[in-house]
Amino acid sequence: MTPPAGARPPVRHPEAPAPGEIIGSHYEHCFGCGGGQPHGLHLETRAREGVRVTAEFRVKEAHQGAPGLAHGGVLATALDETLGALGWMLRVIAVTGRLETDYLRPVPVDTVLHLDAEVLAVHGRKIYCTATGRIGGPEGPVAVRADAVFIEVKIDHFIENGRSAEIQAVLADPDQVKVARALEVNP
Protein backbone atom coordinates (compact mmCIF):
# COMPACT_ATOMS: atom_id res chain seq x y z
CA MET A 1 0.00 0.00 0.00
CA THR A 2 3.05 2.27 0.26
CA PRO A 3 3.93 4.00 -3.01
CA PRO A 4 7.31 2.65 -4.23
CA ALA A 5 10.39 4.77 -4.86
CA GLY A 6 9.88 6.53 -8.18
CA ALA A 7 6.14 7.08 -7.63
CA ARG A 8 5.12 10.61 -8.64
CA PRO A 9 2.55 12.99 -7.21
CA PRO A 10 -0.82 12.79 -9.02
CA VAL A 11 -1.56 15.37 -11.71
CA ARG A 12 -5.10 16.66 -12.06
CA HIS A 13 -6.14 16.34 -15.73
CA PRO A 14 -6.76 19.76 -17.34
CA GLU A 15 -10.22 18.59 -18.43
CA ALA A 16 -11.15 17.05 -15.09
CA PRO A 17 -14.59 18.09 -13.79
CA ALA A 18 -14.46 21.49 -12.07
CA PRO A 19 -14.39 21.66 -8.25
CA GLY A 20 -17.96 21.26 -6.99
CA GLU A 21 -19.17 19.63 -10.21
CA ILE A 22 -21.17 16.41 -9.84
CA ILE A 23 -19.47 13.42 -11.46
CA GLY A 24 -22.25 11.45 -13.10
CA SER A 25 -22.71 7.71 -12.79
CA HIS A 26 -20.37 5.73 -15.05
CA TYR A 27 -22.97 2.98 -15.52
CA GLU A 28 -26.69 2.93 -14.79
CA HIS A 29 -26.56 -0.56 -13.28
CA CYS A 30 -23.49 0.06 -11.12
CA PHE A 31 -24.32 -1.00 -7.53
CA GLY A 32 -22.35 1.96 -6.21
CA CYS A 33 -23.57 4.85 -8.35
CA GLY A 34 -26.20 3.63 -10.82
CA GLY A 35 -29.76 4.94 -10.73
CA GLY A 36 -31.05 1.61 -12.07
CA GLN A 37 -30.23 -0.35 -8.89
CA PRO A 38 -33.15 -0.07 -6.41
CA HIS A 39 -31.01 -1.24 -3.46
CA GLY A 40 -27.77 0.31 -4.70
CA LEU A 41 -25.89 3.06 -2.89
CA HIS A 42 -26.79 5.80 -5.39
CA LEU A 43 -23.57 7.63 -4.60
CA GLU A 44 -23.31 11.07 -6.13
CA THR A 45 -19.68 12.09 -6.25
CA ARG A 46 -18.37 15.65 -6.58
CA ALA A 47 -15.04 16.77 -7.96
CA ARG A 48 -12.88 18.80 -5.58
CA GLU A 49 -9.62 20.74 -5.87
CA GLY A 50 -6.55 18.68 -6.70
CA VAL A 51 -7.04 14.99 -7.33
CA ARG A 52 -9.81 14.60 -4.79
CA VAL A 53 -13.54 13.79 -4.74
CA THR A 54 -16.27 13.71 -2.09
CA ALA A 55 -19.59 11.88 -1.88
CA GLU A 56 -22.47 11.27 0.51
CA PHE A 57 -24.15 7.95 1.18
CA ARG A 58 -27.28 7.52 3.30
CA VAL A 59 -27.41 4.02 4.81
CA LYS A 60 -30.77 2.38 4.07
CA GLU A 61 -32.67 -0.63 5.46
CA ALA A 62 -31.37 -2.79 2.61
CA HIS A 63 -27.77 -2.08 3.66
CA GLN A 64 -27.92 -3.68 7.15
CA GLY A 65 -25.56 -6.32 8.49
CA ALA A 66 -26.34 -6.36 12.21
CA PRO A 67 -29.81 -5.05 13.25
CA GLY A 68 -29.92 -1.34 12.55
CA LEU A 69 -26.27 -1.14 11.49
CA ALA A 70 -24.64 -0.93 8.08
CA HIS A 71 -22.99 -4.04 6.67
CA GLY A 72 -19.20 -3.72 6.53
CA GLY A 73 -19.11 -4.90 2.93
CA VAL A 74 -21.56 -2.20 1.93
CA LEU A 75 -19.37 0.42 3.63
CA ALA A 76 -16.35 -1.00 1.75
CA THR A 77 -18.38 -0.60 -1.45
CA ALA A 78 -19.05 3.05 -0.62
CA LEU A 79 -15.32 3.63 -0.09
CA ASP A 80 -14.46 1.66 -3.26
CA GLU A 81 -16.96 3.57 -5.40
CA THR A 82 -15.74 6.95 -4.14
CA LEU A 83 -12.13 5.94 -4.80
CA GLY A 84 -13.17 4.70 -8.27
CA ALA A 85 -14.46 8.18 -9.14
CA LEU A 86 -10.91 9.52 -8.78
CA GLY A 87 -10.28 8.14 -12.27
CA TRP A 88 -12.29 11.13 -13.54
CA MET A 89 -9.79 13.52 -12.02
CA LEU A 90 -6.92 11.77 -13.82
CA ARG A 91 -9.05 10.98 -16.92
CA VAL A 92 -8.18 7.30 -16.84
CA ILE A 93 -10.20 4.15 -16.28
CA ALA A 94 -8.97 2.27 -13.27
CA VAL A 95 -10.22 -0.76 -11.36
CA THR A 96 -9.60 -1.75 -7.75
CA GLY A 97 -6.55 -3.97 -7.34
CA ARG A 98 -6.35 -3.85 -3.55
CA LEU A 99 -8.63 -2.29 -0.97
CA GLU A 100 -7.75 -2.27 2.74
CA THR A 101 -10.46 -1.05 5.09
CA ASP A 102 -10.51 0.00 8.75
CA TYR A 103 -13.83 0.08 10.62
CA LEU A 104 -13.60 2.50 13.52
CA ARG A 105 -17.24 3.14 14.51
CA PRO A 106 -20.56 1.41 13.79
CA VAL A 107 -22.68 3.20 11.20
CA PRO A 108 -26.44 3.09 11.97
CA VAL A 109 -29.19 2.93 9.35
CA ASP A 110 -30.24 6.42 8.19
CA THR A 111 -26.77 7.81 8.90
CA VAL A 112 -25.25 9.92 6.14
CA LEU A 113 -21.66 8.85 5.51
CA HIS A 114 -19.53 11.74 4.28
CA LEU A 115 -16.89 10.28 1.98
CA ASP A 116 -13.66 11.96 0.93
CA ALA A 117 -11.07 10.35 -1.37
CA GLU A 118 -7.80 11.48 -2.90
CA VAL A 119 -4.94 10.13 -4.95
CA LEU A 120 -1.62 10.14 -3.11
CA ALA A 121 0.76 8.92 -5.82
CA VAL A 122 0.96 7.26 -9.24
CA HIS A 123 3.51 4.68 -10.35
CA GLY A 124 3.10 3.36 -13.90
CA ARG A 125 -0.47 2.00 -14.06
CA LYS A 126 -0.79 1.89 -10.25
CA ILE A 127 -2.76 4.61 -8.50
CA TYR A 128 -2.28 4.84 -4.72
CA CYS A 129 -5.23 6.43 -3.00
CA THR A 130 -6.97 6.81 0.33
CA ALA A 131 -10.50 7.55 1.56
CA THR A 132 -12.39 8.32 4.76
CA GLY A 133 -16.07 8.09 5.67
CA ARG A 134 -17.21 10.44 8.46
CA ILE A 135 -20.48 10.50 10.37
CA GLY A 136 -22.34 13.46 11.87
CA GLY A 137 -21.11 15.84 9.15
CA PRO A 138 -18.15 16.34 6.83
CA GLU A 139 -15.96 17.24 9.83
CA GLY A 140 -17.38 14.50 12.09
CA PRO A 141 -15.46 11.51 13.42
CA VAL A 142 -14.06 8.98 10.95
CA ALA A 143 -16.19 5.81 11.00
CA VAL A 144 -14.47 3.97 8.15
CA ARG A 145 -11.34 4.48 6.11
CA ALA A 146 -9.52 2.73 3.29
CA ASP A 147 -6.22 2.64 1.47
CA ALA A 148 -6.26 1.30 -2.06
CA VAL A 149 -4.24 0.56 -5.15
CA PHE A 150 -6.21 1.03 -8.36
CA ILE A 151 -4.80 -0.25 -11.66
CA GLU A 152 -5.30 1.64 -14.90
CA VAL A 153 -6.97 -0.45 -17.62
CA LYS A 154 -8.15 0.07 -21.19
CA ILE A 155 -11.73 -0.36 -22.36
CA ASP A 156 -10.77 -3.85 -23.58
CA HIS A 157 -10.81 -4.89 -19.90
CA PHE A 158 -14.61 -4.56 -19.96
CA ILE A 159 -15.18 -5.74 -23.53
CA GLU A 160 -13.13 -8.91 -22.98
CA ASN A 161 -14.39 -9.72 -19.49
CA GLY A 162 -17.91 -8.28 -19.30
CA ARG A 163 -21.07 -10.06 -20.42
CA SER A 164 -21.68 -9.46 -24.08
CA ALA A 165 -25.35 -8.41 -23.68
CA GLU A 166 -24.51 -5.63 -21.21
CA ILE A 167 -21.46 -4.48 -23.20
CA GLN A 168 -23.53 -4.25 -26.39
CA ALA A 169 -26.26 -2.35 -24.52
CA VAL A 170 -23.69 0.12 -23.17
CA LEU A 171 -22.17 0.69 -26.60
CA ALA A 172 -25.66 1.23 -28.08
CA ASP A 173 -26.58 3.82 -25.45
CA PRO A 174 -25.54 7.35 -26.46
CA ASP A 175 -25.25 8.45 -22.82
CA GLN A 176 -22.91 5.59 -22.00
CA VAL A 177 -20.87 6.21 -25.13
CA LYS A 178 -20.57 9.81 -23.93
CA VAL A 179 -19.19 8.54 -20.62
CA ALA A 180 -16.68 6.35 -22.44
CA ARG A 181 -15.68 9.25 -24.73
CA ALA A 182 -15.23 11.52 -21.74
CA LEU A 183 -12.72 9.05 -20.41
CA GLU A 184 -11.06 8.95 -23.85
CA VAL A 185 -11.60 5.25 -24.10
CA ASN A 186 -14.16 5.02 -26.88
CA PRO A 187 -12.86 2.26 -29.12
Residue 96 makes CB contacts below 8 A (sequence gap 6+) with 80, 83, 84, 148, 149, 150
Q: For ligand PKZ, which is the closer residue by CB, 137 or 172?
A: 172
150 neighbors 87 (Cβ within 8 angstroms) = yes
**Piece of the chain touching ligand PKZ by CB under 6 A; list 54-62, 111-119, 127-135, 151-159:** 151-159
**Cβ 137 to ligand PKZ, closest distance in Å?**
25
Applying CB under 6 A, which of residues 81, 86, 132, 182 lies at the interface with ligand PKZ? 81
The closest alpha carbon to 17, from 186, 179, 153, 167, belongs to 179
The closest alpha carbon to 46, from 99, 117, 141, 129, belongs to 117
Q: For ligand PKZ, which is the closer residue by CB, 101 or 106?
A: 101
Task: State the binding string over 91-130 for ligand PKZ (x if CB under 6 A, else -).
Answer: --x-xxxx-------------------------xxx----
